[in-house]
Every structure is written in structure tokens, then in C-alpha cells.
Amino acid sequence: MKGSRGGLATIGIIVTQLLAMITPVAWIGLLIVAFSLYHTSQKSKGKREFSGWLMTVGILGIILGGCADPSKDVDKETTAQAEKEADQQSKAEEEKKAAEEKKAKEEEETEVKEKAEAEKEQQELADTFGLEEVLVSRVVDGDTVELKDGRKVRFIGVNTPESTTRTEEYGKEASNYTTEKLEGKTVWLQKDVSETNRYNRSLRLIWLEIPKDDMDEEEIRTKMFNADLVLNGYAEPSTYNPDVKYSEYFVKFAREARENGTGLWAYGENGTTKGDLDLKEEKKTTTAATPKSGSSATTEEPAADQEQEYYQNCTELRKSIRMESHPIILLMHGSMTGIRTTGRVRDKREYGPFLL
């Protein structure tokens, strides 16, 4: 009997320990079992004990406590762990978001700073080269535009075929090209020497972008619209003193376009309008004068038919005439206005009557 009780007690202790690992309620049963074992030992000494039923109660308590649904405690632990992990994840996401916002703010500040520095640099270059930022509101023709402030600007150093009061070959194409490139766009104007022409139009070079060096050929080719017109065969170089800063470049570009038959140069080596590359017609005749007795025969060039020259406009014609002291005869035949001087004939077409 004593052996069976000892074995029962041992089994109870083991079960109690196992159940105690599952739920705290089993710890109560464990205490009861321990108390019953104590009383069992006291009974062996002859003392009155009630350890049998007490141990039974303790074991039942352990079993009931252990068999009681432990999932609640487990669920609480699982829930607590899940909440802890969720809090950690939320905290990590907040930290990540804060880091990203900080980085984005720093990048934005850097971008704004770089943009401000670039604008400052561009403004300094514009001031250095005397560039004026303007908005083109309307294109008059290939080489003339109207600005938002009402000013009309004539491009320096180039001449596109006419497309307004009269039409020349490739004039409409040049006007359409300028419209496509400039109308509604912001550009930069650069003055050479002259402020306006006789029609009160501002004389300017047109830059599509601010150059770093306004005399660098590559930048002239890629950023100046005057040069762009010549390179693409929409204009011929047309130089008038004193605005000659880029005349050599324009002539060089025009020769390239002419060699390639680009644009208006496809119509012939003189293009379709007046320009610096037009061939001047020179006509010289020789007549045999009757030799006087005792003298040898000589060849003489008549003064009236010695040479024929063409001029770009009336202003150029007047300048040339003022330098001569010969009598002047004004001839008018339709659209031809000629000025005859002793020894030289000068012709000017399509300008009509003018005063000297």
C-alpha cells in the first residue's frame, strides 16, 4: 500500500510539473500534492493525517487545471507577440518614411540650390554678352519677328527670300521655318553696333540659348538662329556696316550650304534672293580707236560701258554716290532705277523711285 502511494505520488509530481509548464493553474495542484506528501510523512510517525484525500484533491486540481483550456493563455502570448512585432514593424516603417522624406527634402533643396546657381551663372553670361531675354509673339517673315512688347526685330547679317509684299522662291518655306522655331518662344537678343534700321526695326542677333562663349563657332552653329537660317539654306548672308561681328561666320556657313545644295541654294549658285555670295556681273567691251598718223593702234574701254555693279539697297547706293563727284542722271524704267555716272553704271532693282 505504501509502495503504491509512493508511486502514485511520484507520477503526480511528474504530471504536475508537465502541466505546470502549460498553465499556472496547475501550480495550485502542485502545492496541494506537496502538502499531502508532507502529511503522508507525518502519518508514518503516528500522527493523525488526512493526506490520502488531500493528495487526491491536489491531483484532481492539477488534472483539471492542466486540462482546462490553455489556449487563452497561449492566445494572449501570441497576441502580445504579434502586437509587439506589429509595433516594431510600424516603427520601422515610420523611421523609413521619415528617412525618405528627409532625403527627398535634401534632394529638393540641392536641386533648388543648383537651379539658382545655374540661373545666376546664365544671367552673368547674358550680362557679359549684352543679351536681352524676350518673348516672340509673331513672325513677320523669315528674318523679321514681332516681340510681346510690340517691337519688331530684323535679324542682323542674313536675308531670307521675301514672302510678304512680294514673294521669292523659298520665301514661304523660310517664313514657316522661323515660325516653327521662334513663335511663342523665349529667345535672347544681342545687339552688334546699330540700334535700328531705317524702318525703325531693331537690328539684333537671335540666340536660342545663352552661349558660354559668343565667338565660339560651335556655339554659334548650335545656339544662334541667324546662323541656323544660313546653315539650313533658308537665308543668305547679307552684311551691312557697321554690323559685321559675325559676317565671316555667316559667309562660311552659306558656302557650306551652297556646296551641299541646301534649301534656297538648290535653285542656283546665286540662291533666290540678294546676298553676299551673289556673283557680280562685270561687262567690259573693247573697241579699236582709229589711230592717228604716226601712232600705233590702242584698245580703249568706253567710259559709259566700262563696268556694271549691283547694290543691296538704296542706302548702300547713296553712300557710293556721295563718294563720287561726277554728274548724276536719274533714269526710271518700270521697276528699274539706274544711276549713271561718268565711267560707271549702277543698277538697283525692285526699289522704285528714291531721293538722293
Give residue 300's pLDDT.
35
pLDDT digit string (tens) for 286-335? 333 333 334 333 333 333 333 334 445 555 555 554 444 333 333 333 33
Checking if the pLDDT of 28 tops 80, the result is no
Give residue 75's pLDDT.
72
- Looking at the chain, the whole-number percentage of residues with pLDDT higher than 70 is 58
Mean pLDDT, all residues of the chain = 76
**Residue with more model confidence, 75 or 254:** 254
Give residue 288's pLDDT.
37
Q: How many CB atoms lie within 10 A of CB 214?
A: 20
Query: What is the sign, positive or negative, of the torsion defined by CA atoms of 76, 82, 86, 92?
Result: positive
Give residue 78's pLDDT.
84
As a whole number of Å, the end-to-end CA separation of the chain is 153
In this prediction, residues 61-79 reach a mean pLDDT of 65
Contact 210, 134 (CB under 8 A): no
Distance of alpha carbon 356 from alpha carbon 338, whole angstroms: 12
Checking if the pLDDT of 193 tops 60, the result is yes
In this prediction, residues 261-290 reach a mean pLDDT of 73
Checking if the pLDDT of 235 tops 60, the result is yes
Checking if the pLDDT of 62 tops 80, the result is no
Checking if the pLDDT of 265 tops 80, the result is yes
In this prediction, residues 196-201 reach a mean pLDDT of 95
In this prediction, residues 92-121 reach a mean pLDDT of 92
- Angle at alpha carbon of residue 255, lines to 313 and 336, rounded to 5°: 25
Give residue 315's pLDDT.
54
In this prediction, residues 257-275 reach a mean pLDDT of 95
Give residue 331's pLDDT.
34
Give residue 213's pLDDT.
97
Checking if the pLDDT of 206 tops 90, the result is yes
- Looking at the chain, the whole-number percentage of residues with pLDDT higher than 90 is 51
In this prediction, residues 10-39 reach a mean pLDDT of 63
Give residue 82's pLDDT.
86
19, three cell numbers: 502541466
pTM (global) more than 0.75: no
Exposure string over 307-336, b if 16+ CB within 10 A, otherwise e: eeeebbebeebeeeeeeeeeeeeeeeeeee
214, three cell numbers: 559668343
- Among 48-52, 223-227, 280-284, 343-347, the range scoring the smallest mean pLDDT is 343-347
Q: Which single residue is written with the C-alpha cell 545663352?
A: 210
Give residue 66's pLDDT.
58
- Among 72-81, 192-201, 210-219, the range scoring the smallest mean pLDDT is 72-81
Q: How many CB atoms lie within 10 A of CB 141?
A: 19
Contact 115, 107 (CB under 8 A): no
Checking if the pLDDT of 77 tops 50, the result is yes
**Residue with more model confidence, 66 or 173:** 173
Give residue 334's pLDDT.
37
